[in-house]
A and B are shown apart, each in its own frame.
Chain A
Amino acid sequence: MEGIADMGGTPGWGPVHPPRRDEPVFEEPWQSRAFALATLSGRVAYGGVNLDAFRHALERLDRAAYLNDGYYGRWLNGAELMLTDSAILAPGAIDARARNLRGEHVAEPPIPEPAVPDYAPTAEGSLRSVATAPAFAVGERVRAKAMPVPGHTRLPGYVRGHTGTVEIVQPAFVLPDTNAHFQGEHPQHVYSVRFASRELWGADAEPFALTAELFESYLEATS
């Protein structure tokens, strides 16, 4: 999916922030509530834990909703989007309640008729076993497909079209591209693919290697 969340290699973010010693887990109390609410809201919104759908909700936030209130603000906004997806909450319900909490007198939207997806994961978590043998082997050259993905994906933009080497054949995991949209788990093997920095970023790049874990359907063989 294109958008703010796919940040690898994007310019304009300025210097990194050096680690601080003794940084608290949560800087402010609301962040811990937002974290826990988002964790539990997925189940309320979708009838079962679907991490891919949560990530897809985060990706659909606009730039301000993604960035302005930091990481936990993003989780709060993602939780709201999941809950409005499933019509557990009406759009604007949180905003209206928050205004009333600070003393404004605004009408709150009526509770809608819920439309929770018909969803049940086949097991906990994302690891699955598949009967099919891995399509690619350790040491094989593979190319990340240069494909546009309209919905959720875990194929980052910066590796698309680039060639690397399979370093580890990982187990099979639920395919995020379909699972996020409640279109089935379709588990696939995942491959840790090693890319050279100059393959990704050109001849002037710092010398280093990068691995990304890519689902089988993201990859194609190279001749």
Chain B
Amino acid sequence: MTRTDGGAGESPPAALRTEALEQLLTERGLIDPKALDGVITTYETNVGPLNGAKVVARAWTDPEYRRRLLEDGTAAIKELGFSGAQGEHIVVVENTATTHNVVVCTLCSCYPWPVLGLPPSWYKDPAYRARVVKEPRTVLSEMGLELDHDVRITVHDSTSEVRWFVLPERPAGTGHLSEEQLVPLVTRDAMVGVAKVVAP
């Protein structure tokens, strides 16, 4: 549906169709363009993987916080001020030297927005959605993460409103770094489970 061709040449590109939709809804007072700007600002500037990095750095430096995070992720994440759409119920799983968790949504692209922002392109890509539930070790290798053969992999398919968040392993050699110094090391990809955090 929707890609109908009226016979007068190519269907207009998505950019033009987006503009058309905004016009059609705005001129009838059904949406306010300022509300669109607000949504965009939220996800371009306020909500992103920096939030998750703060959660991880806190968990690495505060064992009591780490315990609370693994026990009730939603509440512990909310302690740091992060909650909202796509974060109603967050479950945190920990990667270690012997266990590796990786997250996907095969049905759409569910993702814990309050801690990671909107998903990156690779996460939404059909190849990732289709393959990581069938051959995760191969997929992770293609993404640049080689896991030892004795590492047990668990793939979490986000088929309900439960959102998964991976607490990456703290890299060796970072014992002298403070919570604030650890934050910039923590990458989005590590918090989905397709990368490890590396020491600076």
Contact = CB atoms under 8 A, between A and B. Distances in A.
B20 A98 contact: yes
B12 A98 contact: yes
Residue of A26, A37, A88 most packed against chain B (CB within 10 A): A37
A146 interface: no
Contact of B88 (A20, A89, A126, A205): A126
A80 B30 CA distance: 14
Interface string B22-66: 111100101100011101100110001000000000000000000
A180 interface: no
A150 interface: no
A5 B126 CA distance: 9
A92 B22 contact: no
Nearest to A80: B2
A69 B189 CA distance: 24
Contact of B1 (A65, A111, A154, A209): A65
B114 to A, nearest CB: 12
A98 B8 CA distance: 12
B89 A170 contact: yes
B177 interface: no
A125 interface: yes
Interface residues of A, number: 94
Contacts of A58: 108
A140 interface: no
Interface string B116-139: 011011101111111111111111
B130 A35 contact: no
Contact of B107 (A23, A36, A156): A156
Contacts of A93: 24
A192 interface: yes
Residue of A25, A58, A83, A206 most packed against chain B (CB within 10 A): A25
Interface string B65-96: 00000000000000000000000110100000
Contacts of A27: 121
A199 interface: no
Interface in A135-174: 154-156, 158, 168, 170-171, 173
Nearest to B122: A17
B121 A40 contact: no
A193 to B, nearest CB: 10
Nearest to B9: A104
B152 A208 contact: yes
Contacts of A5: 107-108
Contact of A8 (B37, B48, B156, B157): B157
Given A106-B6, A127-B161, A215-B160, A206 B16 contact: no
Residue of A106, A208, A212 most packed against chain B (CB within 10 A): A208
Contacts of B135: 205-206
A214 B160 contact: yes
Contact of A62 (B1, B117, B144, B157): B1
B98 to A, nearest CB: 13
Contacts of A83: 25
A212 B1 contact: no
A16 B16 contact: no
A101 B12 contact: yes
A190 B158 CA distance: 12
Q: 7 tightest CB-CB pairs across the interface, nearest first?
A: A8-B106, A97-B20, A98-B12, A213-B160, A30-B15, A36-B39, A13-B127
Interface of B: 1-4, 6, 8-9, 11-25, 28, 30-31, 35-37, 39-40, 43-44, 48, 88-89, 91, 106-109, 117-118, 120-122, 124-139, 142-144, 152-162, 188-189, 194-195
